[in-house]
A and B are shown apart, each in its own frame.
Chain A
Amino acid sequence: MLRFFLGRLAILIPTFLGVSLIAFSFIRLLPGDPVMLMSGERVMSEERHAQIMHDLGLDRPMYVQYFDYLGNVLTGDLGTSIVSKRPVFDDFLSLFPATLELSICAIIVAMCLGIPAGVIAAVKRGTWFDQSIMGIALVGYSMPIFWWGLLLMIFFSGYLQWTPVSGRISLMYFFPPVTGFMLIDSLLSGQAGAFKSAVSYLILPTVVLATIPLAVIARQTRSAMLEVLGEDYVRTARSKGLSPWRVVGIHALRNALIPVITTIGLQVGVLLAGAILTETIFSWPGIGKWMVDAVFKRDYAVVQGGLLMIAGVIMLVNLAVDVTYGFINPRIRH
């Protein structure tokens, strides 16, 4: 198991170097050079320009600059945001919990609804239930979630006035962040109604972000279940006289879940891409909105650092999925 883990870790290293190379070259691919970007509209003399290039170390060979950058990255220095004037890494750390909270809630919703829906659809294959569930799943899979979010907002926030439009919690409540997760912090604050407020702000973004993973998980669970239900050992379990729910729930589901877990792991990229849109619509102060704002404000240090951190998170989750997969399915360790 340890060898398997180390093997997977070793593959990550070249990928991470590649990712850092992309993040590094991003700023250098932009028209003009960093100094001209910083000076903006102001006119700068040739000497002054060369002087600043030299001060910032930008006149050194590219590979020296890259290794310099890599060294900074590995010590947690991702540069400074020109908008917030704070280190990019600090901004990332303070905003990431908001995205994480939203993503965790979304994936829980997607799993809690998607897995049972897929199992029941497979067991009742060909019935109207199966067909409607798979029909709904395909609609969910095809959904432009930025539009879906706006529709839910028109209906639930505008028409019914059940949920707030944007943000993470009502302005009536204020407490210092402890964990960064609003649900936990609001409970810890002990303020009456704070938790309820946090939940009401979280519901719509969660539904929007969960839509595509939910559809994917339901479809994947159904096809994995169908495959497993045809296996000999399921027939044996049935003919032993075990109750149908025991056969489906214990014998079949355990094996059907193996590919589903991989699917769930692969949804992390989908979630972070979805977070870009969901957070933009609901003004959710997470890293998705942060990145979009940075692209628009030309805050290139943030774009560069954010790219690297987000890719890093995805790589780590993929590693975790691989290791979990090796753990529950010993065959692939060898």
Chain B
Amino acid sequence: MSSATVKTGHPSALAEFWYYFSRNKGAVLGFAVFVIVLLLAVLAPIVAPHAPSEQVREKLLLPPSWMAGGDASYLLGTDAVGRDILSRLIYGARFSLFIGLVVVTLSVISGVLIGLVAGYFRGRVDIVIMRVMDIILAFPSLLLALVLVAVLGPGLLNAMIAIALVNQPHFVRLTRASVMAEREKDYVIASRVAGAGTLRIMFLTILPNCLAPLIVQATLAFSAAILDAAALGFLGMGAQPPTPEWGTMLAEAREFIQRAWWVVTFPGLAILVTVLAINLMGDGLRDALDPKLKRS
């Protein structure tokens, strides 16, 4: 077959996705900001003007460069021990994105597996799984994460494990609901009649058809994980100083709110901009992947 006949057929899934995604201006903006943050994180050693933990004793609490007393080589000023805030923020992007990635990976893998089992096998397995999820959901997520970190010991790794654990029931519920809706459809029955094994039906037949809501939820979980990790860091239970994690930076900056607004303002702004960009992308993904909205 020539390529010309292919072109007259359906557009590729990716092209179709991009068509709907790009109609949402906010989503495109969010995507652009996210790519910038990602590039900054990856290229941190090249872009950052200073090392993140380099302390200059003569330059404590220096205001941003455009203010009186500012220094051009410290664009966003310095913190209480003379570290460059901009450089710490750029390195901090690495932590936040890494946290989001690890948490989403952990909670998606475990949540989808458990949800598939619950939705496919139903019966007692399902009841037990869903009750356990209800129990996890009965606690405010941040509180449970806080207590888990208290048990496991403060630190970034334990914070990520705790946040993944409290995020995972959402994936279980979502996967289970989609699997239950798909399970009795003709194509699944056809596949079963054709002799496909249980694992094949679960992972290759049903799962790909449940992906759309999971992708949207994964985006939301990504931003929620960044927020939760920053909140734990702020409470002193996440990444520990001198790690340039944004929430931890805010915790260190708290005592200077009366004297040096910039130490408080910029880390929070970095969190807000990143989380907002990801949520904008999430809205766009939902518009592009949700067939109900597509028709309207």
Q: How far is the CB of A227 from chain B (nearest CB, A)?
A: 10
In the assembled complex, the Cα of A143 lies from the Cα of B147 at a distance in Å of: 23
Q: A138-B280, A147-B271, A292-B235 are in contact. Are A307 and B135 (CB under 8 A)?
A: no
Query: Do residues A142 and B223 form an inter-chain contact, with CB atoms below 8 A?
Result: yes
The interface residues of chain B lying within 8 Å CB-to-CB of A26 are 147, 151
Instruction: Give 30 CB contacts A-B under 8 Å.
Output: A15-B131, A15-B134, A15-B138, A18-B131, A18-B132, A18-B138, A19-B135, A26-B151, A135-B26, A144-B227, A144-B231, A144-B271, A144-B275, A146-B231, A147-B264, A147-B271, A151-B268, A154-B261, A154-B264, A272-B140, A273-B143, A276-B140, A276-B142, A277-B235, A292-B235, A303-B147, A307-B143, A311-B138, A314-B139, A315-B138
The interface residues of chain A lying within 8 Å CB-to-CB of B237 are 295
Judged by a CB distance under 8 angstroms, whether B47 is at the interface is no
Judged by a CB distance under 8 angstroms, whether A280 is at the interface is yes
Choose the segment among B59-67, B187-195, B250-258 that binds chain A (4+ C-beta atoms closer than 8 Å).
Answer: B250-258
Query: Do residues A150 and B139 form an inter-chain contact, with CB atoms below 8 A?
Result: no
Judged by a CB distance under 8 angstroms, whether B93 is at the interface is no
The interface residues of chain A lying within 8 Å CB-to-CB of B258 are 154, 158
The interface residues of chain B lying within 8 Å CB-to-CB of A29 are 151
Query: Do residues A303 and B150 form an inter-chain contact, with CB atoms below 8 A?
Result: yes
The interface residues of chain A lying within 8 Å CB-to-CB of B147 are 26, 295, 303, 307
In the assembled complex, the Cα of A19 lies from the Cα of B237 at a distance in Å of: 23
Judged by a CB distance under 8 angstroms, whether B73 is at the interface is no
Q: How far is the CB of B266 from chain A (nearest CB, A)?
A: 10
In the assembled complex, the Cα of A33 lies from the Cα of B134 at a distance in Å of: 29
Beyond the given pairs A18-B132, A144-B272, A147-B264, 10 more chain A to chain B contacts, judged by CB atoms under 8 angstroms and listed by A's residue number, are: A11-B134, A138-B280, A142-B279, A144-B275, A146-B230, A146-B231, A148-B268, A276-B140, A291-B146, A295-B146
Judged by a CB distance under 8 angstroms, whether B236 is at the interface is yes
Judged by a CB distance under 8 angstroms, whether A270 is at the interface is yes
Judged by a CB distance under 8 angstroms, whether B265 is at the interface is yes
Q: Which residue of B lies closest to A291 (CB)?
A: B143
Q: Which residues of B contact A (CB under 8 A)?
A: 26, 131-132, 134-135, 137-144, 146-147, 150-151, 223, 227, 230-231, 234-237, 247, 250, 254, 257-258, 261, 264-265, 267-268, 271-272, 275-276, 279-280, 283
In the assembled complex, the Cα of A181 lies from the Cα of B183 at a distance in Å of: 52
Interface set, chain A 129-175, CB cutoff 8 A to B: 135, 138-139, 141-144, 146-148, 150-151, 153-154, 158
Query: Do residues B275 and A277 form an inter-chain contact, with CB atoms below 8 A?
Result: no
Judged by a CB distance under 8 angstroms, whether A310 is at the interface is yes
Judged by a CB distance under 8 angstroms, whether A14 is at the interface is yes
Query: Do residues A151 and B151 form an inter-chain contact, with CB atoms below 8 A?
Result: no
In the assembled complex, the Cα of A19 lies from the Cα of B137 at a distance in Å of: 10
Pick the contact of B236: A19, A154, A296 (CB < 8 A).
A296
Pick the contact of B140: A30, A138, A143, A314 (CB < 8 A).
A314
Query: Do residues A139 and B143 form an inter-chain contact, with CB atoms below 8 A?
Result: no
Q: Which residues of A contact B (CB under 8 A)?
A: 11, 14-15, 18-19, 22, 26, 29-30, 135, 138-139, 141-144, 146-148, 150-151, 153-154, 158, 269-270, 272-273, 276-277, 280, 291-292, 295-296, 303, 307, 310-311, 314-315
Query: Do residues A151 and B234 form an inter-chain contact, with CB atoms below 8 A?
Result: no
Q: How far is the CB of B63 from chain A (nearest CB, A)?
A: 14
Query: Do residues B146 and A151 form an inter-chain contact, with CB atoms below 8 A?
Result: no
Q: Which residue of A lies closest to B30 (CB)?
A: A138
Q: How far is the CB of A28 from chain B (nearest CB, A)?
A: 10
In the assembled complex, the Cα of A135 lies from the Cα of B147 at a distance in Å of: 34
Q: How far is the CB of A163 from chain B (nearest CB, A)?
A: 14
Query: Do residues A142 and B272 form an inter-chain contact, with CB atoms below 8 A?
Result: yes
Pick the contact of B265: A14, A138, A146, A151 (CB < 8 A).
A151
Q: How far is the CB of A134 from chain B (nearest CB, A)?
A: 9
The interface residues of chain A lying within 8 Å CB-to-CB of B150 are 295, 303
In the assembled complex, the Cα of A142 lies from the Cα of B281 at a distance in Å of: 12
Query: Do residues A276 and B146 form an inter-chain contact, with CB atoms below 8 A?
Result: yes
Q: Which residue of A lies closest to B275 (CB)?
A: A142
In the assembled complex, the Cα of A310 lies from the Cα of B143 at a distance in Å of: 9
Which of A29, A144, A311, A314 neighbours the largest number of chain B CB atoms within 10 Å of its CB?
A144
Query: Do residues A277 and B231 form an inter-chain contact, with CB atoms below 8 A?
Result: yes
Query: Do residues B131 and A141 form an inter-chain contact, with CB atoms below 8 A?
Result: no
In the assembled complex, the Cα of A247 lies from the Cα of B213 at a distance in Å of: 33
In the assembled complex, the Cα of A19 lies from the Cα of B280 at a distance in Å of: 35
In the assembled complex, the Cα of A307 lies from the Cα of B143 at a distance in Å of: 8
The interface residues of chain B lying within 8 Å CB-to-CB of A19 are 135, 138-139
The interface residues of chain A lying within 8 Å CB-to-CB of B279 are 138, 141-142
Query: Do residues B264 and A139 form an inter-chain contact, with CB atoms below 8 A?
Result: no
The interface residues of chain A lying within 8 Å CB-to-CB of B275 are 142, 144
Query: Do residues B250 and A147 form an inter-chain contact, with CB atoms below 8 A?
Result: yes
Q: How far is the CB of A219 from chain B (nearest CB, A)?
A: 9
Q: Which residue of B lies closest to A153 (CB)?
A: B257
The interface residues of chain B lying within 8 Å CB-to-CB of A314 are 138-140
In the assembled complex, the Cα of A307 lies from the Cα of B257 at a distance in Å of: 32
The interface residues of chain A lying within 8 Å CB-to-CB of B234 are 144, 146-147, 277
In the assembled complex, the Cα of A11 lies from the Cα of B138 at a distance in Å of: 13
Query: Do residues B142 and A30 form an inter-chain contact, with CB atoms below 8 A?
Result: no
The interface residues of chain B lying within 8 Å CB-to-CB of A153 are 257
Query: Do residues A146 and B250 form an inter-chain contact, with CB atoms below 8 A?
Result: yes
In the assembled complex, the Cα of A30 lies from the Cα of B143 at a distance in Å of: 17
Q: A158-B257, A292-B235 are in contact. Are A277 and B142 (CB under 8 A)?
A: yes
In the assembled complex, the Cα of A22 lies from the Cα of B132 at a distance in Å of: 11
The interface residues of chain A lying within 8 Å CB-to-CB of B276 are 138-139, 142
Q: Which residue of B lies closest to A14 (CB)?
A: B131
Q: How far is the CB of A93 from chain B (nearest CB, A)?
A: 19
